[in-house]
Amino acid sequence: MSNTATPITLTITQELGGMRLDQALQRLMPEHSRSRIQGWIKDGLVTIANETPTAKFKVWGGEQVQITPQTAPETLAFEPENIPLDVVFEDEHILVINKPAGLVVHPAAGNWSGTLLNALLYHAPQLKDVPRAGIVHRLDKDTSGLLVVAKTLAAQTNLVRQLQARTVKREYRTIVWGQIWRNGKVDQPIGRHPHARTKMAVNRMGKPAVTHYEVLDRFAVHTYMRCLLETGRTHQIRVHMQHLKAPIVGDPVYGIRGILPLRHISDNLRSVLLDFKRQALHAIRLGLKHPATGEPMEWQVELAADMKVLLEAIRAENVPPEEAEAFYVDDDEFAYEYDDEGDDWLDEEDEDAE
């Protein structure tokens, strides 16, 4: 989809003489911000006598300026796009999607198109009349699994209330580094990271956050777990697993740097781990009350295919946990990269994402 508009020609009026080019154009095109006009100039989309001036270029009046404006990328955010959806359930009130890893849920800086929202508007055009195209909670870009969408305003209102009341049941599966020896819960508040705005962290000034976890299988240097959310904070499971010093495999933000040189990692497993490019986190089960009938409903999907491959490679190691080498994670081993989904339109989960 092109975001380049039809070229236009403007004449700098005499009263604008002596101004910078960007200032003069902003006076002539008040519908566009000065920063946007500066962007066009920087990108070579503004010419005077076939030359590409800088924003600081001084005009004197009478100049003919050719402009090829670009549509702001955010104006493309609510355009329908033919993106395939894995629909688990659909009626006239709700839509349940099995989201693949790599699909951003809601448009934001860096992801103005190619999102689940764009796909929903194509799949169900009536969603243009529902705020955020019916989206009531999110999954991170690289988290896969179940997500519910409202198809009407009434359904959206009802689902938001269920999320706020914490009656929506969400079960996740994850593979973490290290051995977790017993079931438990993390009850630690989560807020913005004090030094990196796009990250979250356990923060005593944050909002209450509770994650229940259960060990499903324990291996030499990994644990396969079930996580249940009592609250829904941004990146909750990822932050809480980091707090346990059991970071999620593949997590580029809260995980560990690279693959540690442990003796019990075979060449095959090391290869699989290096090829796994996202956090090993999957929303496997979703339960709620139907917003129109009040009937309890529940859906479950299989573990994502790439996580199955990873799990099989880990199981193939055949190293008894009690014979495994000790695994420790130091704070300086955590990755501190940045997420490209840094919008705050909703605080994820009940607010909403994992």
Tens digits of residue pLDDT in 128-160: 988 889 999 999 999 999 999 999 999 999 999
User: Which pLDDT score, from 0 to 100, does residue 343 have?
Assistant: 34
Do residues 263 and 214 make contact, with C-beta atoms less than 8 angstroms apart? no
Cα 260–Cα 266–Cα 269 angle in degrees, nearest 5: 80
Residue 7: closest CA among 62, 58, 44, 61? 44
User: Which pLDDT score, from 0 to 100, does residue 341 have?
Assistant: 38
User: Which pLDDT score, from 0 to 100, does residue 102 have?
Assistant: 94
Long-range contacts of residues 253-256, Cβ cutoff 8 Å, at least 24 apart: 253/199, 253/335, 253/336, 253/337, 253/338, 253/339, 254/199, 254/279, 254/334, 254/335, 255/177, 255/279, 255/334, 255/335, 256/177, 256/329, 256/333, 256/334, 256/335
User: Which pLDDT score, from 0 to 100, does residue 340 have?
Assistant: 37
Phi then psi for residue 346, to 5 deg, are -150, 145
Task: For residue 352, say if its preceding peptide bond is cis, omega within 30 degrees of 0.
Answer: yes
β-strand pairing of 94-99 with 184-187: unpaired
User: Can you tell me the distance from the alpha carbon of 285 to that of 294, in angstroms, rounded to the nearest whole number?
Assistant: 19
For the chain, list the domains and their CATH numbers: 8-71 (3.10.290.10), 87-333 (3.30.2350.10)
Q: Which two tokens stand for residue 339?
A: 């997420």
Single-letter code of the amino acid located at 97: I
Q: Which two tokens stand for residue 354?
A: 């994992």
User: Which pLDDT score, from 0 to 100, does residue 303 have?
Assistant: 97
Do residues 224 and 311 make contact, with C-beta atoms less than 8 angstroms apart? yes
Catalytic residue among 22, 140, 306, 350: 140
3-state class of 271 per DSSP?
A: helix
Report helix angle 267-275 to 305-315, nearest 10.
160
User: Which pLDDT score, from 0 to 100, does residue 344 have?
Assistant: 34
The one-character DSSP state at 194 is S
User: Which pLDDT score, from 0 to 100, does residue 73 have?
Assistant: 61
| Whether 267 is catalytic | no
User: Which pLDDT score, from 0 to 100, does residue 302 have?
Assistant: 97
Tens digits of residue pLDDT in 35-55: 878 988 998 999 999 999 999
- Spans of the chain, pLDDT less than 50: 1, 337-354
